[in-house]
Amino acid sequence: MIPRTVYDSEHEMFRASVRKFLEVEAVPFHAQWEKDGHVDRDLWTKAGEQGFLIPTAPEEYGGVGVDFRYNAIVDEEIARFGLSGIGWGLHSDIAVPYILRYGSEEQKQKYIPGCISGEIITAIAMTEPGTGSDLQNVKTTAKLDGDEYVINGSKTFITNGQLADLVIVVAKTDSSGGAAGTSLMLVEANTPGFTKGQNLEKVGMKAQDTSELFFQDVRVPKANLLGDEGKGFVYLMQELAQERLSVALNAVSSAESVLQQTVEYVKERTAFGKPIASFQNTQFTLAELDTEISSARVFIDRCLELHISGELDSPTAAKAKLLSTDLQCKVADECVQLHGGYGYMWEYAVTRAWADSRVQRIYAGTNEIMKLIIGRALFE
């Protein structure tokens, strides 16, 4: 394995603590959480006590103020264990950073300490039925009425949707303004008119609560506007590079883990009286996958370095997401094949990884959208 220079000894000490925590507090229970459709809420507060939630948050709000490498380590270890139900990445890498970057001091003081402790679980409500990746044309509205915004509309495929205490809602404050009419609203889960629909039954990521959300005349004070009115689409575009990097980190770590599990499996599984690891086809398949994963790891680590220095641009983040998630799906599929019939049995980690991987090419912008972003950059 190529040495990873993006991390130093302190990072690896943090990784060891995250890994130990997950081995004790998550791995033994994840199968039950898959049946329940969500992880135990206690896991969030336990993680908060250990400093695993939003490690980038400033000290004045109860955080430790480190850089994104610590988020990356949490993402990588969750993926390595196949703990796809744990929604910390959405919380720490995507939702809460909007509040930290664009929120008022009052909003930060009110919400960030609870987000760090795990007492407040967040979600971000972008996707709507029929819109998919087309964030400019969301139908949910937030109309100003005196000192309150009145929100109406619906969202779907919302990660952390069932457990969320605070949701960042993408809504139109000016229905005729296109992208310039989009704003972000903070909506607490107990707000009258805000209801959570069913916990959606998915092909994979079964322990991850993913929900429909409904807003019927939901009234929130003007103070719940996140940032400036009409700037929501701009904010979304500015934060997508980190979101796509987060997905890429998850993808490569999952691929590495699945490959290693398969190497161990083919040493033990026999066919025609010999371990299938001895067959040239097995060796060639795994050699190709190992080479591709190594190449992807080097690139994703470089993207992480660029992000830490504030230099990760949109096309490069799109490349990271496209490359890593396509590879993750390829690795999972090839490794299922090498497991034979057992690769189709849910009890095997490779099977769950295969089911979990497919959505990675869809969310955070489909991989077709990634190609559009990369392609446009070629002709600028």
What are the pLDDT digits (tens) for 334-373?
A: 999 999 999 999 999 999 999 999 999 999 999 999 999 9
Q: Which of 76, 243, 256, 334 is catalytic?
A: 243
Q: What is the mean pLDDT of residues 294-314?
A: 98
CATH superfamily ID and name for 234-378:
Butyryl-CoA Dehydrogenase, subunit A, domain 3 (1.20.140.10)
| CATH number among 1.10.150.20, 1.10.540.10, 1.10.3720.10, 3.30.70.80, domain 9-120 | 1.10.540.10
Is the model's pLDDT at 133 over the cut of 80?
no
Give CA separation, 240 vs 32, 155, 169, 236, 321, in Å: 32, 19, 16, 6, 11
Q: Please confirm, yes or no, whether 243 is among the known catalytic residues.
A: yes
Q: Give the pLDDT mean for 196-225.
A: 97
Please give the biggest Cα pair distance in the chain. 79
State residue 132's pLDDT score. Answer: 67
Task: Point out the least confidently predicted range of 169-178, 193-202, 218-227, 239-248.
Answer: 169-178
Residue 115 confidence (pLDDT) above 90 = yes
Q: Please give the pLDDT value at position 178.
A: 80
Tell me the average pLDDT across 46-71.
97
Show Cβ contacts of residue 160 under 8 Å, excluding neighbours closer than 6 positions: 87, 90, 91, 95, 121, 122, 123, 209
Give the whole-number percent of the chain exceeding pLDDT 70.
99
Q: How far is CA 150 from CA 60, 116, 193, 231, in A?
A: 32, 29, 10, 18
Please tell me the predicted confidence (pLDDT) of residue 177.
79
Per residue in 72-114, pLDDT tens? Answer: 999 999 999 999 999 999 999 999 999 999 999 999 999 999 9
Least confident window among 51-55, 173-177, 315-319: 173-177
Tell me whether residue 192 is exposed, middle or buried, using C-beta atoms within 10 angstroms of its C-beta: 0 to 12, 13 to 18, 19 or more: exposed
Question: Taking a C-beta distance cutoff of 8 angstroms, is the pair 338, 278 a contact?
Answer: no
CA count, 13 A, side-chain hemisphere, 360: 33
pLDDT confidence tier of residue 130, bands split at 50, 70 and 90: confident
Distance CA 249, CA 76 (A): 6
Average pLDDT of the chain to the nearest whole number: 96
Cα(296)–Cα(96) distance, integer angstroms: 28
**Structural contact between residues 251 and 325, judged by C-beta atoms closer than 8 angstroms:** yes
Residue 3's pLDDT band (boundaries 50, 70, 90)?
Answer: confident
Distance in angstroms (rounded) separating the CA atoms of residues 92 and 104: 18
- The structural domains of the chain, with segments of one domain joined by +, span 9-120, 123-230, 234-378
> Given pLDDT bands bounded at 50, 70 and 90, which one contains residue 278?
very high
Question: Which ranges in the chain belong to alpha helices (H)?
Answer: 9-25, 30-36, 41-50, 69-80, 88-89, 96-102, 105-117, 232-268, 280-308, 314-338, 349-357, 367-378
> pLDDT by residue (tens digit) across 222-275?
999 999 999 999 999 999 999 999 999 999 999 999 999 999 999 999 999 999
As a CATH number, domain 123-230 is: 2.40.110.10
Percent of the chain with pLDDT over 90: 95
Q: Is the pLDDT of residue 125 over 90?
A: yes
Instruction: Give the model's pLDDT for residue 131.
Output: 74
The Cα–Cα gap between 109 and 112 comes to 6
Q: Specify the pLDDT at position 122.
A: 98
